[in-house]
Each structure stands twice: as structure tokens, then as C-alpha cells.
Amino acid sequence: MVPRGGPVSRYLVDKFLYTVDRDPELVERYRCDPVGTVEWWERNQANLLLRCHAGESSTWLSFEEEERAALRAHDYPKLYELGAHPFLTLTLFIAMFERDHPEPLGFQREYASRLSPWLGRPQPDITT
């Protein structure tokens, strides 16, 4: 399946993954409260991408419902399918879930296993 999300929403998903991954407190917040974190980020941070002035915002920058659901569920295979950059999903989800896999490269192996259905199939376009 080729992702349906356009470049704008994929950019927003990638920006979410990137900015959350760069802040250890946000990583923990997203791990413990994904629904609240996604809602907060979309409402308060997405518009900063436009450099909107205080009190200004745009409804243009919002996740598509399928993207929002995947982010809320920590569903990185779905995010990959929708076109999220695999490096961004991998690094963020390692930060969140590596501790749950004590064996060496445990989470990385799980990540690869869950994305294995994509082997040999057309890959999502990850350009932004």
C-alpha cells in the first residue's frame, strides 16, 4: 500500500517525531500519555512551524485522523505505512521502548520484525 498522506501531513508527523525525540521529558510524556501528548503537541506546537504570532493559529497544520490514531497508539508500522520517516520512528521508539527489551538490540529486532511485512513490497515515499 502506498501512503495516502500528502507531504504536508507527513511533514507534520515527521516534525512531531523529531521534536518529541529531542526532548527527554517529552519522550517520557509521550510514552506515558500518548493521547494527551499528541493532542497537546498538535494544539500548541504545530502552529509554531508557521511562526504564528501569539493568539494566531491555523487549522491548516493538523494531523489526518489516521495519522493521529497511529501516533496515539504508538503504532509505528502504521506510521511507516503512512509515510513517516523510518529513521525518525526508529529513534523515537528506541528512546521510549528499548528499556522494555533487556536483550541486546531487543527493540530494534522487534521494530524490524513488525515492519517485515513491507519487505519486497513497494516502499512508502519518505520525501518531504
38 neighbors 58 (Cβ within 8 angstroms): no
* Structure confidence by residue, pLDDT tens digits, 6-39: 545 788 999 999 999 999 999 999 999 999 999 9
**Inter-axis angle of helices 65-72 and 7-21, nearest 10:** 20
pLDDT of 63-86, one tens digit each?
Answer: 999 999 999 999 999 998 888 888
Task: Give the number of other CB atoms < 10 A from CB of residue 81.
Answer: 20
Residue 125 lies in a domain: no
pLDDT (tens digit per residue) in 87-116: 999 999 999 999 999 999 999 999 999 998
Three-state SS at 12:
helix
Average pLDDT, rounded, for the chain: 84
Q: Is residue 1 part of a domain?
A: no
CA 100 – CA 50 distance, rounded (Å): 37
Q: Give ∠ CA 80-82-83 in degrees, rounded to 5.
A: 65
Q: For residue 5, is pLDDT > 60?
A: no
Within 8 A by CB and 6+ apart from 74, the residues are 34, 93, 96
pLDDT at 40 over 90: yes
Q: What is the pLDDT of residue 76?
A: 95
Instruction: Give the contacts of 128 (CB within 8 A, at least 6 positions apart).
Output: 7, 10, 11, 14, 85
The range of the structural domain enclosing residue 81 comes to: 7-118
Q: Is residue 52 part of a domain?
A: yes
pLDDT for 50: 57
**Number of domains into which the chain is organized:** 1
